[in-house]
Chain A
């Protein structure tokens, strides 16, 4: 290949700037799923016996379940026997004790993504638990957190070091057979994050995990469990990006949050997985189950998400408001462009008295993107004076995209109040012309209008995440108009 060709290839690659593949020897099982694969995973991770039992239960439930088809999504049938269910970078087998022991190739990957761990340690005060494929390879700030009594580690470590906590809470928010993808995750999850904040502790820093899908044909089945004990507080950041792929990659994560009395959990996500090419080819299929339970009185769970990536997004971070006076919040920006499809929203189950929930959903559709908001607000019999406010706004860019809204409202308690507002608008020629007349380029104008549209959600993100989210949105919508 001559220099000019190389240059061209370089240019072609920059289409998705995070699209590169790290070359690391992986310890991968052949594609396919049966009991032996689950035994392999459990043995590989030297799990306690109860975990193997639990996984096998989930597997048998999964076998009897059907793929949900109610979502406003269109994708080819997934062959679950074509997926490899275990992959771990080999260098992690011994378990690195510090960053120095981490495969430098991995660290370079994160640097390319603009996540230099060293810099983050100093600048942002964020502890990072990176998940590379399926095994956590680096954990920082462990010591500082330990002094506060905070446990922040991979879920595999938690099974060894805190089995009683894992056994007590795992699967209590999202049961094994909750849905097809959650059951699959329960059977085969290889790693994820575990957080425990002890009673009365305010976590001294924002906890963050960067996920990255890397191994070819490897389904990603992370499991996250966060427990905030009485009167504690934690803010958790989750951000993802993935290298470019030809095959579709399945991702079926489960996140469980438990907030005890007076505890507060703030969970923020910026998701930038490869959305596929113009036709959606090669993009990530993202089927995620995220749910939090406000177990104790006056507890508070807040979900904030900025979803720009993935070919398919199927995701409904939810709150079960069991404690009296508990509060659930959901703030979301979802972008669907090119051939992306997003079916996302939330569920708020009001069980306790005086429970309150707020839903703010901002859907942006461009090109042929299809964006669906699907939300359930349920006021149970015991939800005296329950309150919900839902605001659901859609922004259309161009005339080939779609926005769909499916709000489900179920109210059994007559004292409960539910409000729903919805708007759909189009980035108007008038708006663009106004901005351009004031000297702004069309791209800058679009980015400004979109950022304005998303402001209520961005305001909920931690500062440095909000900056990242804005940038991401700009990149995601480049060339969407015109």
Chain B
């Protein structure tokens, strides 16, 4: 589904990703862990198409297409969704309106009929019930004055509504208390399906207690230096990043 090959990318002339390789198959959940500054956020932004990040080498293919040649909205239309580490406030923009516009932009791009308000509300209400979220979220301005937990829940709601093929969770656990973390994780787990792949980017192992990955990769200094199953995360938790770096240095 997603194939990253020898990817070099950076911002403001500084190279951050230095030859990253990653293959994600349909329905797989991959976790990327790594210390601060390893390039985790850069990876998610390059995949989503943030313009400030410049790719200097390598390729990314998604569903057979050259992902890097596409605009951010075209990537969204193809089925890439990124849950933001810091969701952005849009003052005065009603959340329902935003969700409907977003869903219909994607539906239209895929040649589907846009949903009218009635059908949209039906759909969004059923998603809210599935995710055990409060409807009051819909009446507010997008992320404006939201608590950290509310923002992340709103991201999960969007993801559930837009039904992406690849969901990138960019440090979704940051700033969440344990209850909020559980709600978010439950939401993510509810969305797991054989057609949907996920890339979970996190600094801490604790999110992986709730979202069990199929694969765990350790990112350090712009490259994946180690891959394994979920036991790798536990090992990391126990021994710290220093352990893996030291191993790498020795190798």
Contacts and interface: CB of A to CB of B under 8 A. Distances in A.
Best-buried of B51, B72, B90, B91 by chain A (most CB within 10 Å): B72
Contact of B88 (A428, A439, A444): A428
Best-buried of B52, B87, B89 by chain A (most CB within 10 Å): B89
A161 B129 CA distance: 66
Contacts of B141: 452
Interface in A276-300: none
A17 interface: no
A167 interface: no
B72 A437 contact: yes
Interface stretch (B28-36, B60-68, B100-108, B174-182): B100-108
Given A429-B52, A440-B105, A448 B93 contact: yes
A452 B88 contact: no
Contact of B91 (A440, A444, A453): A453
A449 interface: yes
B84 A434 contact: yes
14 contacts: A429-B51, A434-B88, A436-B71, A436-B73, A436-B76, A437-B48, A438-B102, A438-B105, A439-B102, A439-B162, A449-B90, A451-B93, A452-B91, A455-B92
Nearest to B144: A452
A50 interface: no
Contacts of B55: none
Contact of A452 (B49, B51, B93, B103): B93
Interface residues of A, number: 23
Interface of B: 48-52, 71-73, 75-77, 81-82, 84, 87-94, 97-98, 101-103, 105-106, 109, 141-142, 158, 162
A429 B89 CA distance: 12
A444 B101 contact: yes
A439 B71 CA distance: 10
Interface string A345-377: 000000000000000000000000000000000
Interface string A402-446: 000000000000000000000000001111011111111110100
Contacts of B158: 438
A433 B82 CA distance: 11
Nearest to B81: A437
A454 interface: yes
A433 B97 CA distance: 18
A430 B72 contact: no
B76 A448 contact: no
| Among all A-B residue pairs, the 8 with the closest Cβ atoms | A452-B92, A452-B93, A455-B92, A438-B102, A439-B105, A436-B72, A439-B76, A434-B88
A451 B92 contact: yes
A453 B92 contact: yes
A460 interface: no
B90 A440 contact: no
A456 interface: yes
B101 A440 contact: yes
B47 to A, nearest CB: 10
Contact of A440 (B81, B89, B102): B102
Nearest to B99: A438
Given A431-B90, A437-B82, A448 B98 contact: yes
Interface in A449-473: 449, 451-456
Contacts of B98: 438, 448
A393 to B, nearest CB: 9
A454 B82 CA distance: 28
A422 to B, nearest CB: 15
A295 to B, nearest CB: 35
A439 B109 contact: yes
Nearest to A423: B91
Best-buried of A430, A436, A437, A452 by chain B (most CB within 10 Å): A437
Given A439-B102, A440-B73, 14 more contacts: A429-B51, A429-B52, A430-B88, A431-B88, A437-B48, A437-B82, A438-B158, A439-B109, A442-B73, A444-B101, A448-B97, A448-B101, A451-B93, A452-B141
B77 to A, nearest CB: 6
Contacts of B142: 452
Contact of A439 (B50, B77, B93, B97): B77
Nearest to B52: A429
A439 B92 contact: no
Contact of B73 (A430, A441, A448, A452): A441
A441 B141 CA distance: 20
Given A437-B48, A437-B82, A438-B102, A448 B90 contact: yes
A263 B40 CA distance: 63
A430 B103 CA distance: 20
A456 B92 contact: yes
A454 B49 CA distance: 29
Contacts of B109: 439
A453 B144 CA distance: 12
Contacts of A440: 73, 101-102, 105
A433 B86 CA distance: 12
A449 B94 CA distance: 10
Contacts of A451: 92-93
